[in-house]
Amino acid sequence: MTGGHRFWPSVTKAMLWAFLCAMGLLVIYPLFWMGLGGFKSNSQIFSDPFALPESWSFANYLTAWQATQGYMVSSLLVTLISTLTTVTISAWTAFGLTRTEIPGKPLVVGIVLGGMMLSPTVALVPLVRMLQDYGIYDTHAALILLYTAFRVPFTTFLIRAYMLDLPRDLDEAAMMDGASPGQIFRKVILPLCQPILISCVVLHILFAWNEYLFAMIFTNSPGVQTLPVGLTSMMSKQGTNFAAVFAAMTISALPIVIIFFLTQRYFIRGLTQGIGK
């Protein structure tokens, strides 16, 4: 009887591990294959696509880097600044919606969170006209403004859900010590919200780094266009050089993979504690 009770949990655990390993291979193998493709020649990609490279040459990666480095700088600039503005505005908004008394708070919460229901594609035409009128069309500022505006509602939703469960005794203790609302926000609330803030940073980086629709429509100059648009341009120019295209795609994906692995512990904890509340 005891052996039977131990057998089925062991089988279940083994099946779970087998399933997780299979899913891991399903996700990792295309990335691995793409990275190896950057070391191959076109002839080897077509003749033996699943074999290891015949020679480990970085020539394709050098070609890809020279073709995409300008787009990479634009992506870094837009991603970093929009991440900072989005998380900062969202954290302040969430603090105001959870720790302060304002008239009509439920209505304000509904308006802020209702922004998540606005489809970017519906607003494309008026946004083009608006940015042209303001004189910021085809600039980095246009993308930073759009990325911030369309991501603040979702980021506010995540941070607000996390802040709702923080004990208010900390706020009251800080107020008794003479702390202002700004000091409470910076020195008490933000340190406690570190997991969800890191989760929001990672989510916004994933969005801004890979966003294509706004970057294609609201930019025309190569010096302003971001990496997804640059990869499309490179594929149109070097459509037959698949090895260089694979190398460029690997360079594009590598920063995101590194960031996720470095922050995955905080990322998962922040989302589970925030959304699960």
pLDDT digits (tens, 9 = 90+) for 260-275: 888 877 777 666 665 5
- For residues 58 and 38, give the distance between their C-alpha atoms in angstroms, rounded to a whole number: 8
pLDDT tens track for 206-250: 999 999 999 999 998 888 999 999 888 887 776 678 888 889 999
CA 124/CA 214 separation, integer angstroms: 8
Quickly name the fold that domain 69-275 has.
MetI-like fold (1.10.3720)
Mean pLDDT score, 128-152: 93
pLDDT score for 1: 47
Q: Give dist(CA 212, CA 274) in Å, integer.
A: 28
Give the per-residue pLDDT at 139: 94
End-to-end alpha-carbon separation of the chain, Å? 40
84 CB burial (10 A radius; 0-12, 13-18, 19+)? middle
What pTM was estimated for this model as a whole?
0.84
Average pLDDT in the chain: 85
Res. 197: pLDDT tops 80: yes
